[in-house]
Amino acid sequence: MTGTLVPSLVVLVVLVATGIASAFVPSASELALLGAGYLVYRDLGTAIPVSIAAIVGVLVGDVVVFRRGRGASPLPSQGGRRARAEAVFDRYGDAAIMIARIAIGARRDLFFQAGQSGRALRRVVLLDALAASLHVPLFVTAGAWFGAELERVHVTFQLPRLSAIAAALAVLGAVALYRRIRARAPKG
């Protein structure tokens, strides 16, 4: 029983962590992917199921950002970021979705803008999945390959404590965001 339970839990944790990181935490999905690779290094999961779970997680996170863009009106404070995202779409068209997958720091803006500009969800997911199928296994493999170095950093900076704090903050952030969205929803 425990022989299949631990890898299954690892796959579930990777799915949830990458989804949350991709949707709510700027520039954190690569860290979650390296962490997934570290779990492979520690033999807590195998590379293929962990990579598949991570791909699904980042796709779900990107769709969440896309959907938020679909129903949002632009905020004045987002003017410069929005203009840069529009310029990327004007220049590269649908390829901007694939660029967004590897654009650390700009990913959320690009997916938000894709939703706001009315792009088709099916096409966005298809292009994102294509890019993620290359990008995600690369980071998972890097995490597995450099697992010993990650372990040394882990011990040095006492990441178990920091990981627990980060997880708690991610949950609190998700709850706060949920409450904020719910408060803005029309009552009826």
- CA proximity to 89, closest of 81, 133, 55, 25: 81
What are the structural domain ranges in the chain? 2-147, 157-188
**CA 1 → CA 5, 15, 40, 74, distances in Å?**
6, 21, 20, 51
Q: How far apart are CA 170 and CA 19, in angstroms?
A: 11
Give residue 1's pLDDT band: very low, low, confident or very high (50, 70, 90): very low
Give residue 33's pLDDT band: very low, low, confident or very high (50, 70, 90): confident
Phi and psi, residue 76, nearest 5°:
-60, -35
Q: HSE of 49 in the Cβ direction (CA atoms, 13 Å)?
A: 15
- CA proximity to 29, closest of 114, 124, 175, 132: 132
Computed from CA positions of residues 135, 53, 94, 178, in that sequence, does the dihedral angle turn out positive or negative?
negative
Cβ atoms of 137 and 46 within 8 Å: the answer is no
Give the residue ranges of DSSP H helices in 93-158.
Answer: 95-102, 107-116, 121-145, 147-156
pLDDT tens-digit series, residues 34-72: 888 888 898 888 889 889 988 998 899 899 989 988 877
